Structure 1
Amino acid sequence: MNASRRRSAKRKELTPAEQGKKEKNLAYLLIVAHDQGVPAAIEELRRMRKEKREKGRNSPGSSMTPRKSV
């Protein structure tokens, strides 16, 4: 999907479970930022996104191919 279509696409409504999960993740990042500082929270967010991406790659039927480990 190209960038212009992505911008014009309607925002998906979250289910209550998805909303709760999102709020829990944001609360966790806020705690990390308070305890360890904003740079640590940014690194944690990057790690969480990477984990989510890898999980998506490894799921059966995924169109994304797993990364080749050298």
Structure 2
Amino acid sequence: MTQRRIARADMSVPSFVSPEARDLIKRLLVLDPEKRISLDEIQRHPWILKHCVKDERTMKRSSGSASSKDAKQ
């Protein structure tokens, strides 16, 4: 099962996936949140910069989260 393989850090990325995409995927799947790639790093990752339109890369941190809505009240 994929979930177990991720938990054991036993994931392999298919060979047809580009090195940049492979790097991003592996960094996203790091179990330890302290070591996992941050949102800022994701937005600056070479694969994102190459394949995502600039407007799509802009993340609004406050949109949709309950905690940010509560903070505004």
Q: Which has the higher contact order (CA 8 A, sep 6+)?
A: 2
TM surpasses 0.5: no
* TM-score (norm. length: structure 2): 0.31
Bigger share in helix: 1
- TM-score after normalising by structure 1: 0.32
